[in-house]
Amino acid sequence: MARSGQSSFTRTGSLTKKSSSPARHRVAGLAGGPVQRYSAVVLGAGGVGKSALVMRYGKNVFLEQYDPTIEEEYDLTVEYEGKRSFLHLVDTAGTEQFTGINESYIQRGVGFVLVFSLTQEATLKEVDHIRQQIHRIKGGDENVPMVVVGTKLDLMGEREVSSEKMQELAMKWGVPFYETSAKKGWHVNEAFDHLLASMRKRYPEGDPKSKRRRRDQCVIM
C-alpha cells in the first residue's frame, strides 16, 4: 500500500546509529548550539530504493518489502564534522508519477539526492532528466547542492552500470556519485553527509526558505 503524509523520525548522529565516519564520532557529547535547517529532496524512478536509503540513513534499518511511496517527509537532527544541523528530507514518488508534486519539491528544496539502481541502466538516464529539470527550475543555477546515488551495490551479478560510467558522468556533470547498498549499509552515510556538507557550504546560515510555514508533524521514535 502506498504511503503518504508527513510522518517523520528524529535522529541524532551518535544515538540512533553507529557510523564508521570519524567526524560523527568526534561530535559525541557536544553542547547544544544554534542549529541550521536544510531541506533536501530524494528523487528517482520508482523502485530504485529511495525509501530504503532514507530509512538506512535515518534509522539504520533496511526495508525488506517494497512499498511504493507517494510522499513522505522526515526530520532529522544530524551531528557531522563538529556541527549539528536540522535536516528535512522529502522522500518522493517515482518520477514517472506525480510530476507536479515533484516539481513543487524541487522549487522548495535546496539540496537533492538523485537515485538510480546499479542494476537498471535506464534509471540512470532518468537521473539525467531529473538533473536537467532541477537546473531548469532553479533558473540555470549550476551550483545546486546535489549528489547522485547508485543503489543495490550488493547485487553485483545483476549490475548494469559500471564504475567507469559513473566516473565519466561525475566529471561531465560536476556532481559526486556514490555506489551504495541500503541492505548492507554500504556508503549511505557518506552520500548524505556529502550533501549536507555541500548545503552548509552554499548556505552557511541555513535554508533561506526555512521560515516558511510548516505543517504539523508526528514523530516516529
Of 1-5, 35-39, 103-107, 130-134, where does mean pLDDT reach its minimum? 1-5
Q: Give me the pLDDT at residue 13, please.
A: 42
Indicate the residue type of 25: H
61-75, 83-97, 166-180, range with greatest mean pLDDT: 166-180
Does the pLDDT of residue 99 top 70, yes or no? Answer: no
pLDDT at site 20: 33
Domains, the chain, ranges and CATH? 3-220 (3.40.50.300)
Q: Which three cell numbers stand for residue 210?
A: 526555512
Instruction: Please report, as a single letter, which amino acid is at residue 202.
Output: R
138-156: per-residue pLDDT in tens? Answer: 988 889 999 999 999 999 9
- The DSSP element (H or E) to which 101 belongs, if any, is helix 99-108
Question: CA-to-CA distance for 132 and 162, rounded, in angstroms?
Answer: 22
Mean pLDDT of the chain: 80
What is the reported pLDDT for 4? 35
Read off the pLDDT of residues 100-140 as tens digits, 9 standing for 90 and up: 667 888 898 999 999 999 999 999 999 999 999 999 999 88
